[in-house]
Structure 1
């Protein structure tokens, strides 16, 4: 095999099972025989991908067929590589089925989704004590996590700077029923061991959150050594700059895998209703009592949700955030439908052109 030192890290001695490989991957890979090798994407560097394989890592491009189809591997993907030692190259020829994914709408006329991370089990929504601790922002991150199919955990970093860390957790828990809320200090290590139950060997965790909340510091703490650059936050607004510039998968000391990603915080909630349902179960439960089944909870008569706001049982700000995310969800759905229509028109144009070319040949 053409192994080389990974651009995103050093060589490793992990097995595929250590990297999250499971029986379903064996089944998907079983159709490949010959010079094919399975692996997991650790990071992307422009036009090449660093792939972790059994006992090492290699750098590979992708096949022309995948490129033509617009199927580009994402960090966390399990892939099939064609190993060609005589040519000194390895090529990614297939992407195995994904169990979960983060995706965002790509720019352009086709409005197709761009997958940016795949096969994630748990999402750590990292916020920090101080100005970043914003309930509305956390609700949005929860919608992103739920729509991906992964399990969310809220991590309040820099809790040592708060007078009462427990009250911070209680305030967040009130708008995130059933979601673990864990205050920690990545810098000092205080409370980091509370994350252990969510980091069993072979599972994959992704970090999302604003810049400056300490995601890179947390990875360094969990890795037991500095692998990510960190920076200080500004004093006047406690915000920082992005120090992570490449999506990357790390294998932690305890055997879990973690994806640090500079773009995940910008991902839309996508077209999955689960993002809304998992984030606002209280509103959806109230909505079952509304007079009309298609009530939008705005000015309709007999709206139980609006009545709950008037009675003080539901926060007006929480309902407004629900409306905002619902509008975004509807927009994403409309955009996807428009994209499908355009794609269908493009296909019919190509079919028509092919038919005209055939008739020209026959006419000759």
Structure 2
């Protein structure tokens, strides 16, 4: 039960309750009796997972049944471990119900969303002063965060590098739709205290953002030690270097839990339409006044959204990004439906093959 794999966390002295364990998790675990123990996934390294339990961290693989179902635990998942000391093995055999699931659209024919983290309370969308401060990218992030069910907070790092730090929030507030926008400097510590309301004991926060915006530096600042490797943005192209290579859960000094992520260069919007609607509440509200209920907000007569753009009440760039994300969402949903049909077809072929084998066995 000695955990140690490169890139994952250190042994911890925390109880399950301190790791975010709730009455709902306890109730879901009641049906397991015998050599089963609960835990929370802290890190994944290829085919093994580091899991925090009430008696310390352990390394575990997953059962063949979970592999067959294509269910792989995500960082933040509460799982059920089968502990077999006589065999010297610990295996993840079940994933407890998730309160929230933070995903992003994944490439591939199946159109399956990729789970980034589970059981998240808050998502810090981390950007930085300079070229990374991109309102259109923030809108995309907000769409996938809203779809997860978690609470978004926009964190503008490296505020100390801006000539006018106050202007940073002014750039993002028009697209934030009431979401908190907090400028900080993870390097100097300026503004870090403004994050305290979201760092309560047992609360789980995930960091997302492009490479080089300072997520690892922010983790180190909140932990009070140099745990994560850091690097800046390349001077030649203004792009970040990937320093974090695995998703990993940390317990902060405040008792909050934080999940760091590798830098995300491309973020698919996924298949949940609710996230897009919540990311553009101003357009949603205007659309209720359109003449036609199925208005696309393009060239239709009586479009309240287009009228707002002409009147200068809505940014044309914001509407264009809404259209772009809407087209992407429709594409992802179509791809997911095709993937589901393929999956069902494959399943029925398997059932038919099994039926033929049973008939053959009976004849013999």
Q: Distance in 1 between matches of 2:104 and 2:304?
A: 33
In 1: Cα distance, 2:331 partner to 2:351 partner = 30
Could you tell me how far apart the structure 1 residues matched to 2:164 and 2:202 are?
35
1-side partners of 2:157 and 2:108: how far apart? 37
Report if aligned partners of 1:83, 1:90 keep a CA contact under 8 Å in 2: yes
Q: Distance in 1 between matches of 2:86 and 2:164?
A: 63
Residues 54-73 of structure 1: pairs in structure 2 closer than 5 A: 54-73=54-73
Which stretch of structure 1 is more off in the superposition, 237-246 or 196-205?
237-246
Is the 1:103–1:267 Cα contact (8 Å) retained in structure 2? no
Q: Aligned residue pairs: how many?
A: 363
Unaligned residue ranges in structure 2 (runs of 5+): none
Partner of 2:196: 196
**Counterpart for residue 136 of structure 2:** 136
Q: Deviations over 1:87-112 (max 9, x none)?
A: 11110000000111122445554433
Residue segments in structure 1 that go unaligned for 5+ positions in a row: none
The match for 1:53 is 53
Partner of 2:3: 4
SS of the residue aligned with 2:18? coil
Partner residue, 1:168: 168
Q: Distance in 1 between matches of 2:319 and 2:43?
A: 38
Tell me the equivalent position of 1:319. Answer: 319
Residue 3 of structure 1 and its aligned partner are, at CA, apart by 4.2
Q: Secondary structure at the match of 1:239?
A: coil
Deviation at residue 173 of structure 1 after TM alignment = 1.1
What is the CA–CA distance in structure 2 between the aligned matches of 1:145 and 1:104, rounded to whole Å?
9
- Asked if structure 1 preserves the Cα contact closer than 8 Å seen for 2:20 and 2:204, the reply is yes
Deviating beyond 6 angstroms after TM superposition, the runs of 4 or more aligned structure 1 residues are: none
Task: Please tell me whether residue 149 in structure 1 is matched to residue 145 in structure 2.
Answer: no
Over the aligned positions, Cα root-mean-square deviation in angstroms equals 1.5
Alignment match, 2:182: 182
Pairwise CA distance, 1:361: 3.0
Please give the alpha-carbon distance, in whole angstroms, between the structure 2 residues aligned to 1:108 and 1:211: 23
- Secondary structure, counterpart of 1:175 in structure 2: helix
Q: Which residue of 2 aligns with 1:258?
A: 258
TM-score of the pair, normalised by structure 1: 0.96
Q: What is the distance in 2 between the residues matched to 1:275 and 1:358? A: 47
Alpha-carbon deviation of 1:22? 0.4
Aligned to 1:100: 100
Following the alignment from structure 1 to structure 2, what is the Cα–Cα distance between the partners of residues 262 and 151? 20
Aligned to 2:212: 212
